[in-house]
Copies of this chain bind each other. A is one copy, B any other.
Amino acid sequence: MSNKEIIDLFLNPKSVAIIGASKNLTKGGHRIVDNLVTNNFKGKIYPINPNSEGDLFGLEFKKSVLDIEEEVDLAVFYVPNLKIPSILEECIQKGIKGAIIEASGFEEVGEKGLELRDQILKITDNFSKIRILGPNCMGLTRIDGDSDSKDIKKGGFFTSFAVFHKYKSGNIAIISQSGMLNGGYLMYMMEKYPDLGIRYSCSIGNKMDLSEIEFLEYFLEDPSVNVIAIYLESFKDPRKFIELCRKTREKPNKAIILVKGGLTPQGQKATLSHTGALAENSQLINAIIIQSGVIQAKNFHELFQFARTFSMMYTENKIMPKQGNISLITGSGGAGTIVADITAEYGLKFPIFGDKIYYKLVEIFPEWMPPNRFALVDFWPAMEKAMMNNINPGVLMISVYELLLNDEKIEGILNMMFCSKQFRSFTNYKQVVESINNASKPIFFWLIGEVKEVQRVSRYMADHNIPTFPSLEDMIKNFWILVQDSKNKNYN
């Protein structure tokens, strides 16, 4: 089987047996079936449990996979580690070609776990008889259509034992050695950020057989994926990883973001008891990251935020910044100062305005407070002048956007916007979005003001793939990674 066929079998099976399916809703084996049924999996589902009678969500329990008459593509194991070998033998006998093992208790627990691992190697003849994902993982998710969509595409394939209710199908694929990224954290992030579009999430656990390599290779060729977000505690094959990542240089519409766990001795001690990852030399890790040209994120917050930013930029076909030449529109001078400081630390610069643009700004600003010559526009004095002259400041703001969008030196616009329902006429967010919506430059917002109005504006902007951020530093860092990615892709 080709790599594509293998991963297709795991991400897109036509039939799946859930081993350890249970009527008890606190059990993972119950929730996996729940997750599949709730989310409209279109293939066949077979709940397997020798101790259960009757049905689960209308699906008849079988004692063993051997009792299934039809062909089965994939088996999902939610049973204690020691029960796995014998059931795996039955799966092989049945001709099942793939197994997801969600139980823990292998490499990460020392000698006993290693014995179990050897047993499985023998049974599977080094994974030639059946391919294995896990153990110690939280399964796979494929999202074909949004949770609130009414059409047949709704849902997809869901084998996490966290049941997902809110999600949006998008262009992000996750590969993770933390189950949380196909479990509680993904659930939280998809509900909290309804604009976060996920295509796949793959919990690879201890990667006894399948690893980041097979999924990465698959996603690099999958046209529905633009962003690959990875959390690893160890590299299965550093050379191959670098080789695959470097393919993004010829694929300008793919970005790879990596969080590496175990960068410090303290973190490595933690990985050992988590996925059994052995300590890797920190110089080696750094070399892998630099040579692969991936975007490095420090934590899960950055991983998901960066992924969302790239995802939105690709969806809108934005021209990615290369030099780091930015502009800022702010209603607060203090925010302007902090942005100027933080952007400087990230190596981003405000270009000097050409005369033509500068003198157009001069007209908008009061005589006693002329605009900066560099692309940091503190809009407040212009707003005061407009109000004194009974001019709608919102209209002026739109003209400032036009000026900045037409300045070729400027690669993107950062914004601090005050959101108030009462003063919506001052900054009509819908007009702002309309005026910037077709721009080829990335445009990011930091919103403050009335909490409800901030949420409303943020949601509206998300619907137009305009990212908003909870802090100035997050906004700047996310622009900076776009520049970083351009630089990485020009490497060599």
Interface residue ranges, A against B (CB under 8 Å): 26-27, 80-81, 104-105, 108-109, 112-113, 176-181, 183-185, 187-188, 191-192, 231, 233, 259, 261-267, 269-271, 273-275, 298-301, 331-345, 349-350, 366, 368-370, 372, 374, 376, 378, 380-381, 384, 387-388, 418, 423, 426, 448-451, 454, 470-474
Q: Assess the A337–B473 pair: CB atoms within 8 A.
A: no
What is the CA–CA distance of A423 and B270 in the complex, to the nearest angstrom? 27
Q: Assess the B274–A368 pair: CB atoms within 8 A.
A: no
In the assembled complex, the CB of A51 is this many whole angstroms from the nearest CB of chain B, namely 14
Q: Assess the B341–A264 pair: CB atoms within 8 A.
A: yes
- Which of A233, A263, A470 has most chain B Cβ within 10 Å? A263
In the assembled complex, the CB of A380 is this many whole angstroms from the nearest CB of chain B, namely 8
Contact A344:B273 (CB < 8 A) given known A338-B259, A387-B26: no
The contact of A332 among B178, B269, B332, B342, by CB within 8 Å, is B178
In the complex, what residues of B have CB within 8 A of residue A267's CB? Answer: 337-338, 340-341, 344
Q: Assess the B185–A448 pair: CB atoms within 8 A.
A: yes
Q: Assess the A178–B331 pair: CB atoms within 8 A.
A: no
Q: Assess the B300–A471 pair: CB atoms within 8 A.
A: yes
What is the CA–CA distance of A336 and B274 in the complex, to the nearest angstrom? 8
In the assembled complex, the CB of A377 is this many whole angstroms from the nearest CB of chain B, namely 11
The chain B residue with its CB closest to the CB of A25 is B422
Contact A187:B450 (CB < 8 A) given known A341-B267, A344-B264, A349-B266: yes
In the complex, what residues of B have CB within 8 A of residue A381's CB? Answer: 104
Q: Assess the B184–A448 pair: CB atoms within 8 A.
A: yes
In the complex, what residues of B have CB within 8 A of residue A344's CB? Answer: 264-267
The contact of A301 among B259, B370, B473, by CB within 8 Å, is B473
* Extra pairs beyond A192-B451, A300-B472 (18, CB < 8 Å): A80-B388, A178-B337, A184-B331, A188-B449, A191-B450, A191-B451, A233-B334, A259-B338, A264-B344, A267-B344, A269-B374, A270-B333, A270-B341, A274-B336, A298-B473, A299-B342, A300-B335, A301-B473
What are some 26 contacts across the A-B interface (CB < 8 A)?
A27-B387, A104-B369, A105-B369, A109-B369, A113-B368, A177-B334, A179-B333, A185-B332, A192-B451, A233-B334, A233-B337, A261-B341, A266-B341, A266-B343, A266-B349, A266-B350, A267-B337, A269-B340, A270-B333, A270-B336, A274-B334, A274-B378, A275-B333, A298-B473, A299-B472, A300-B338
The chain B residue with its CB closest to the CB of A178 is B334
Q: Assess the A184–B261 pair: CB atoms within 8 A.
A: no
Q: Assess the B178–A273 pair: CB atoms within 8 A.
A: no
Q: Assess the A273–B378 pair: CB atoms within 8 A.
A: yes
Q: Assess the B266–A184 pair: CB atoms within 8 A.
A: no
- Ranked nearest first, the 5 interchain pairs of A and B with the lowest CB-CB distance are A178-B334, A274-B333, A267-B341, A301-B471, A264-B344
Q: Assess the A448–B188 pair: CB atoms within 8 A.
A: yes
The chain B residue with its CB closest to the CB of A26 is B387
Q: Assess the A178–B335 pair: CB atoms within 8 A.
A: yes
What is the CA–CA distance of A242 and B188 in the complex, to the nearest angstrom? 44
In the complex, what residues of B have CB within 8 A of residue A449's CB? Answer: 184, 187-188
State the number of copies, please: 2
What is the CA–CA distance of A460 and B265 in the complex, to the nearest angstrom? 36
What is the CA–CA distance of A286 and B40 in the complex, to the nearest angstrom? 59
Contact A337:B188 (CB < 8 A) given known A26-B423, A105-B369, A344-B266: no
In the complex, what residues of B have CB within 8 A of residue A275's CB? Answer: 333
Q: Assess the B334–A261 pair: CB atoms within 8 A.
A: yes
In the complex, what residues of B have CB within 8 A of residue A271's CB? Answer: 337
The chain B residue with its CB closest to the CB of A192 is B451
What is the CA–CA distance of A178 and B113 in the complex, to the nearest angstrom? 59
Q: Assess the B180–A334 pair: CB atoms within 8 A.
A: yes
In the complex, what residues of B have CB within 8 A of residue A473's CB? Answer: 298-299, 301
Q: Assess the B334–A262 pair: CB atoms within 8 A.
A: no
In the complex, what residues of B have CB within 8 A of residue A264's CB? Answer: 340-341, 344-345
In the assembled complex, the CB of A67 is this many whole angstroms from the nearest CB of chain B, namely 25
Q: Assess the B337–A261 pair: CB atoms within 8 A.
A: yes
What is the CA–CA distance of A192 and B26 in the complex, to the nearest angstrom? 34
In the assembled complex, the CB of A117 is this many whole angstroms from the nearest CB of chain B, namely 13
In the complex, what residues of B have CB within 8 A of residue A299's CB? Answer: 338, 342, 471-473
In the assembled complex, the CB of A432 is this many whole angstroms from the nearest CB of chain B, namely 16
Q: Assess the B178–A333 pair: CB atoms within 8 A.
A: yes
Contact A180:B104 (CB < 8 A) given known A344-B267, A450-B187, A472-B300: no
What is the CA–CA distance of A26 and B423 in the complex, to the nearest angstrom? 8
What is the CA–CA distance of A187 and B233 in the complex, to the nearest angstrom? 42
